[in-house]
Amino acid sequence: MSLRLLLPEEGVTELLASWPDTPRVYERPTSALDESVTAESIRGYLYSGCVPASEIAAIKAPNPSLSQNAYMTNGRTDRAKLARLYEHGFTIRLGNLQRVVPALAGMSGTIQTETGYSNYIHAFLTPPGEQGLRHHWDQQMAVIVQIAGTKRWQLWRPPVAAPMREYNESFRVWKDEFIPTWEAAGPDVEVDLKAGQSLLLPRGWVHNPHVVDTEEHSIHLTFAIRERTRLWLAEKLLAGAIAEEEFRDIVLPRKLGGEGLIQQLGKAREALVTYVQGLDLAALAPTVVKDALTESEYTS
């Protein structure tokens, strides 16, 4: 079980049984993850020049990510430029390692088998005394695995309920007063995450991670686990509607406004209700299970 590479037995049990909505810190057991992913291997991958530029972000708080041109030469990742950025205090994020590192691809696939949730893996390398991303919240559960050094995580309770990619994401509902308000109140939870520990970070929790020590480098992996939602199930219920001719009928331009539109919406609603009520849920269930175990990209 790949989750046991990230969390101790009690952490895996708690995650699968209740999907906690408050942060947890665990002492991570030594596992195959420690053999396949080390600080040296991550640095080697970063400075090999093989990382696709599209999967790199260079961030130094309080500024946004740099343009890819900052670490590219002739259209390719420039390892010397990345090294200079890191030396100047930039956090380097390596995205979607499950697509390029075989061991992590295997872990990602097994986590999906264990949970039915797709997931992705990012690595963050932060210089001593520096910070990359500032306060924000995410729309999925994350398991933060500290590989090297220590990173301080200041955490605040979710300001919005159950965020999703298309609903209540940080940048979609951001207000300038958020950060001053949070900082004035102080964090609800503060964690100094050390190498060998994992942080379970539920979706929606505001986090402000940074390295306090001015001599210690930090490397951590973020295993972002995309929860399936009832909206996802609703999408599965409607997936076969395209086979019904009435759902493929054209709505004339003149009926896309005024009373004509109200009538068309009403007819569509009636058709949807009739279609969903007529579904054989037992027959549909195996397809939903298959999709849960194989869909790798985020939809809802």
User: Domain boundaries in the chain?
Assistant: 3-227, 231-294
What's the pLDDT score for residue 233?
96
Position 29 confidence tier, pLDDT thresholds 50, 70, 90: confident
201 membership: H or E segment, kind and range: strand 197-201
CA distance 4 to 111: 10
Highest mean pLDDT among 27-31, 166-170, 222-226: 222-226
Average predicted confidence (pLDDT) for the chain: 94
Tell whether the model's pLDDT for residue 300 goes beyond 80: no
pLDDT at 1 over 90: no
pLDDT band at 51 (very low <50, low <70, confident <90, very high): confident
Measured CA to CA, the distance from residue 60 to residue 89 in angstroms comes to: 7
Q: What is the predicted pLDDT for the residue at 297?
A: 73
Mean pLDDT of 212-234: 96
Q: What single-letter amino acid sits at 19?
A: W
Strands 119-126 and 218-225: antiparallel
Q: Is the pLDDT of residue 163 over 80?
A: yes
For residue 142, list its beta bridge partners. 201, 224
Joined tokens for residue 19: 């999907």
Q: Which residue has the tokens 């970070």?
A: 201
Determine the CATH number of domain 3-227.
2.60.120.650
Reported as a single tens digit per residue, the pLDDT across 59-75 is 999 999 999 999 999 99
Average pLDDT over residues 167-191: 95
What does DSSP say about strands 76-77 and 91-94: parallel, antiparallel, or unpaired? Answer: unpaired
Residue 5 burial (C-beta neighbours within 10 Å; 0-12, 13-18, 19+): buried
pLDDT over 50 at 10, yes or no? yes
